[in-house]
Amino acid sequence: MNLFSQKKMVPQLSPSALVVLKKRYLKKNSQGKVIETPPQLFWRVAKNIAQADLNYPQQKKQVKKTQKQFYQLLSSLDFLP
């Protein structure tokens, strides 16, 4: 299952938040063109946060679940690191 295809968890961002994301946080190519969407950014951040579970052998099976939980927190704007 592709995590990016879960449309029900699309973050609702204000126009000014989108401007800030585009200027500062979304991935850009070598020409400076934005090549990432806000949901992709949130998945990227959630995945990196969840990687900490790999440091604990008993938690390795939980990485995808943790990633999804962090994405839900990020996309609902309840957690913004």
pLDDT at site 8: 61
How many other CB atoms are found less than 10 A from the CB of residue 22? Answer: 13
Identify which has the larger pLDDT, 26 or 12: 26
Task: Kindly state the average pLDDT of the residues 62-77.
Answer: 92
Query: How far is it, in rounded angstroms, from Cα 34 to Cα 51?
Result: 25
Alpha helices, DSSP H only, in 1-81? Answer: 15-20, 38-50, 63-75
pLDDT at site 60: 79
pLDDT at site 4: 47
Q: Give, to the nearest 10 degrees, the angle between helix 38-50 and helix 63-75.
A: 140
Task: Give pLDDT tens digits for 30-53.
Answer: 999 999 999 999 999 999 999 998
- Residue 1 pLDDT > 50: no
